[in-house]
Amino acid sequence: MIDVRRVRTDYDTVRAALARRGDGTAELEQLHGLDERSRQVSSERDDLRARINGLSKEVGTLRRDGDVEGAEAKQAESRELGEAEKALAAEADELAAAVRELLLRIPNLPAPDAPDGAGEQDNPVVKVVGPGDDPAAWAEHQRVPHWETGAELGILDLERAVKISGAMFTMFRKQGATLQRALCQLALDRNSDAFEEVRPPSLVLSATLTATGQLPKFADDAYQIERDDLWCIPTAEVPLTSIAKDEILDEADLPTRLMAYSPCFRREAGSAGRDTRGLLRVHEFDKVELLAYTTPDQAPAMLQEILGRAEALITALGLTYRVLDICTGDMGQSHHRSFDIEVYAPGVDKWLEVSSVSWFSDYQARRANIRYRPTEGKGTEHVHTLNGSALAVPRVWAAVVETHRQPDGSVRIPEVLLPYMRGATEIR
């Protein structure tokens, strides 16, 4: 969440930043008035508490002096003030809860250098690596959708996946299953030089999902197990972010780099009729996530490091890709600065988002109460969090199968995956 103290001291700047996103200004105005009222009521409550404490001392003094009548009068006054204090305390608690609820709904402030724009159509393309979507660059045998190739080779069984679990679930078989596992292992191995591997739980508490910004705004996109107050994680970012929840780290230990393989679960509540064929949009998929805690000064370099690592994996797989600089109108709620990597899948003739690399400033850390103790200076400060998909299986799998499809219908396995494919060099 944003820092409410900044709303109090620099309201116009905060409002201008949210206006760049086209979101959150109405809630900010509500917050501004509500926070002022909350502080006023809290101050009145505290004043009454001080008066009540003062009266208690007076009562004691009067009783010691033998003034019973005076003591009883002061006690009566104290009881009357006590009732008023209880009412103010209850109102203060309600206002504080309302302030927090608004803070949870107001999006993060975009970085000054984030491009302005109203939506995804305004995202600048930073670079394109490979032939792009030039029709002349792709052969006819590469223009076959991955679901057709997968069915022909017996490596993708969508029909039985739907029979087992319903629409938008998938099932890899034979070397298709080996390929999806190989992609995850490649992503872990390529980042093990700097990132600690973690295998976090796949179910988390509501508070954990709230810490990263999925709740309350995106509850409809998550799978909830109401009986146990647990949620299926939409990404390993969720548990990784909360590893240091309510902790104070030492600056000497920053940046802290973590990575995790996990299954991911998304309801895709707003996707009816959009990209639902094959592996383009599914309810469950495997992904390797990179995450870092940093100081504010370390964050820009870490953003570029995570982006570079994600790009390197896509390059190693021989895929055409492009990098988008996400504009203010297309940012996720928690994002401060963000880049997307999209691969081109010639069989479906689409650019597919396969990684979002984001810097959240201290927005998530305020929710999760993650701080660090500066080497120099006093007190503590909130860390900055960053994350990015090292590799998300379904769409990368689809792009590999389409890009590396051969004229005879087989699929050539990229060289970097050969150590994980049990001796196979192609799928046929």
Q: 331-353 burial by CB neighbour count: b if 16+ within 10 A, else e?
A: bbbbbbbbbbbbbbbbbbebbbe
Give the span between the Cα atoms of 221 and 237, in whole angstroms.
16
Give the span between the Cα atoms of 179 and 56, in whole angstroms.
75
In this prediction, residue 271 has a pLDDT band, given cuts at 50, 70 and 90, of low
What pLDDT is attached to residue 216? 86
Q: 226-246 burial by CB neighbour count: b if 16+ within 10 A, else e?
A: eeeebbbbbbbbbbbbbbbee
Give the span between the Cα atoms of 168 and 40, in whole angstroms.
52
User: What are the pLDDT digits (tens) for 129-166?
Assistant: 999 999 999 999 999 999 999 999 999 999 999 999 99
- Whose tokens are 């689409």? That residue is 350
What pLDDT is attached to residue 270? 58
Give the span between the Cα atoms of 235 and 258, in whole angstroms.
14
Asked if pLDDT for residue 225 goes beyond 60, the answer is yes
Give the span between the Cα atoms of 102 and 188, in whole angstroms.
38
pLDDT, the chain, mean: 96
120-427, CATH topology level: BirA Bifunctional Protein; domain 2 (3.30.930)
N residues, the chain: 428
User: What are the pLDDT digits (tens) for 319-373?
Assistant: 999 999 999 999 999 999 999 999 999 999 999 999 999 999 999 999 999 999 9
Is 4-105 a domain of CATH 1.10.287.40? Answer: yes
Specify the 3-state DSSP secondary structure of 197: strand
Q: How crowded is residue 33: how many other Cβ atoms within 10 Å of its Cβ? A: 9
Nearest to 403 by CA among 335, 316, 328, 329: 316
User: What are the pLDDT digits (tens) for 51-74?
Assistant: 999 999 999 999 999 999 999 999
Domain limits of the chain? 4-105, 120-427
Give the span between the Cα atoms of 314 and 340, in whole angstroms.
13
What's the helix, strand, coil split of the chain in %, to 5? 50, 20, 30
Give the span between the Cα atoms of 116 and 281, in whole angstroms.
28
What pLDDT is attached to residue 273? 57
Q: How crowded is residue 69: how many other Cβ atoms within 10 Å of its Cβ? A: 8
In this prediction, residue 268 has a pLDDT band, given cuts at 50, 70 and 90, of confident
Give the span between the Cα atoms of 327 and 61, in whole angstroms.
67
In this prediction, residue 274 has a pLDDT band, given cuts at 50, 70 and 90, of low
What pLDDT is attached to residue 130? 97
- Dihedral pair phi/psi, residue 407, rounded to 5°: -55, -30
Q: Residue 156 in contact with residue 179, Cβ under 8 Å?
A: no
What is the sign of the dihedral through the CA atoms of 400, 406, 408 and 412?
negative
Asked if pLDDT for residue 424 goes beyond 60, the answer is yes
pTM for the full model?
Answer: 0.93
